[in-house]
Amino acid sequence: MGAAAAATTHRVILGLGGGIAAYKICEVASSLAKAGINVVPVMTAGAQKFVTPLSLATLCRHPAYTDREFWAATHSRPLHIDLGESADLLVIAPLTANTLGKLAHGLADNLLTNTVLASTCPVLVVPAMNTDMWQQQTVQRNWQQLLTDPRYHAITPGAGRLACDRVGQGRMAEPSEILAVIDSLLLTQGQRDLAGKHVLISAGSTQEYLDPVRFIGNPSTGKMGVALAQAAAHRGATVTLVHGPMVAAHRQGLTGVQKIAVTSAAEMQQALVAQLPQADWIIMAAAVADVKPRDRAPQKLPKAALPEQLPLAPVPDIAAHLASLKQPHQRLIGFAAQTGDIEPPAWEKLQRKGLDAIVANPIDQADSGFGSDSNQAILLGQQGQRQVVPPCPKRHLAHQIYDFVNGLERQGGAEENS
């Protein structure tokens, strides 16, 4: 959760259902409050069996509301009306089978469900329950019915060991993923403007091996590509992420994203070309190697056998190749990681490779580029469009990139209709 999310103070109603996974929400509450977001906890009677109102109030820096306050005649207006009308986002986690059933059928018998019906903001629901409970036909029917309402955004439970020692689906998403979706929903106000689009993204570095243990590579961690994948998925897109080697922690929060792991530039090109026909937008965020060792030894070379001058060979220019294959309806967006004056080389790369847009970002500035959680950029379009994005969390930059490409699409449509 980046500090930029709280540049305008948002109000998030954090609703807790009764389940052992409620303990995870303590981290979510604390992180939101530290980011400067106004977090208002609303607890069901069941939730109070697992987390106390005092704990939530302390973490949120705001009193925790329960059904006791709901039925008390101490408010000038009904509490659920005040809460519902003031909310920018309502989060329900863990979502239990009981609360799911009520929401699916428009029922309200406690403060949390009444607040949902009294609100018009987006609602993020994060289920958690035993595998057999989750797989019940009635529960799945309620789940599918709830998701037909465009207000509701969801993080489907994952698989793993549950509190009952059962291994299966039903495990609530981790706090980091919940926070990522909250961040996006506050930025976009819940819009699903990429629904119906397939976004194909490359991420991370490629590695070109000299022998089984030595390679030519670069410091790219894939964080920018993961942020792009998250942002696209949060806006309703179908997302495929083709990524080079990256640590598992950087791949978190990608529920519903198709992930294809590769190592070399040739493997990345093969995977991207295979996925290209169904893609609408292709975002080339990977830092692809420019050269590779001309020869690859099948066994580790002794130090004494390493050549003093390493013969090199070029690797495929993936972006240029995709530009030659793409159809008129497809948009190809490249990245240019630069030092010094970043704009001229990015503009030259945009033209030379036939891209629709390019993201020029500095790698010699503090808190930008490889490995950082934040970034900054200049966005350039084929027809001279230009937008400067100041330093911000990478997921925020990802959303601004999508806004920029959306603008290119609108301009293209206007020119075609003129």
Pairing of strands 374-381, 357-362: antiparallel
Contact between residue 15 and residue 103 where contact means Cβ atoms under 8 Å apart: no
Q: Is 60 a catalytic residue?
A: no
Q: For residues 135 and 133, what is the distance between their CA atoms, to the nearest angstrom?
A: 6
Cis peptide preceding 127, ω within 30 of 0: no
Q: Which of helix, strand or coil describes residue 205? A: strand
Q: To 10 degrees, what angle do helices 223-234 and 175-188 make?
A: 60
For residues 227, 121, 43 and 157, what is the CA-based torsion angle, rounded to 10 degrees? -40
Q: Which of 26, 60, 164, 392 is flagged as catalytic? A: 164
B/e letters for 353-388, b = 16+ CB within 10 Å, e = fewer, are: bebbbbbbbbbeeeebbbebebbbbbbbbbeeeeee
Cα torsion at 87, 187, 414, 202 (round to 10°)?
A: -140
Sign of CA dihedral 132, 136, 140, 146: negative
Radius of gyration of the CA atoms of the chain, in A: 24
Q: For residue 4, give the amino acid letter.
A: A
Which residues are tagged catalytic?
164
